[in-house]
Amino acid sequence: MKKYSRQRELILNSLRNRTDHPTAEILYKDLKNDMPGIGIATVYRNLAELCESGSILKIKSNTGADRYDGKLQPHIHFECNECHEIYDIEIEEMSTRRIENEIRRLTEDIGAEYANSSIYITGLCKKCKVLVNINY
């Protein structure tokens, strides 16, 4: 167990209280208001430790920089191909079990052992879909 770190606690609390999925750089800029002395390397190091401990999720974005999520309950991520925002899609516990069982079955079909899964969907968000239709 890592010793207590005020910076790590600040990063974790920030991520748990957000609905967006910030990059390390965005998080760093936001945290500078509360802790002016924090460095970008400290943010990256603590994000890595929080990911490794399972306290937060790292989201591999299709647009470059990794994003981070403090929400650990099962949910699906949707990234807009236009504005690159990442949205959470909530799913009921029963649906989660059905999806996990199907993924487990598909994994067994290829002779592999299931460990965990993450569902990542891309497309156009509601806002960008409207804008694209207006421009045509």
Q: Does 1 share its domain with 66?
A: yes
**29-33, 88-92, 107-111, 115-119: segment of lowest average pLDDT:** 115-119
**How many domains are contained in the chain?**
2
Check whether 31 has a pLDDT greater than 60. yes
CA 19 from centroid of its chain's CA atoms: 10
Q: Does 61 share its domain with 94?
A: no
Each residue's pLDDT tens digit, 4-19: 789 999 999 999 999 9
Check whether 2 has a pLDDT greater than 80. no
Report the DSSP pairing between strands 120-123 and 86-90.
unpaired
Q: Hey, what are 69's tokens?
A: 């999520």
The SS3 assignment for 33 reads coil
Check whether 110 has a pLDDT greater than 70. yes
Boundary residue ending a domain (29, 56, 71): 71
User: CB 49: neighbour CB atoms within 10 A?
Assistant: 16
Where residue 132 sits, what CATH number does that domain have?
3.30.1490.190
Q: Does 57 share its domain with 83?
A: no
Look at residue 128 in the predicted model and tell me its pLDDT.
Answer: 93
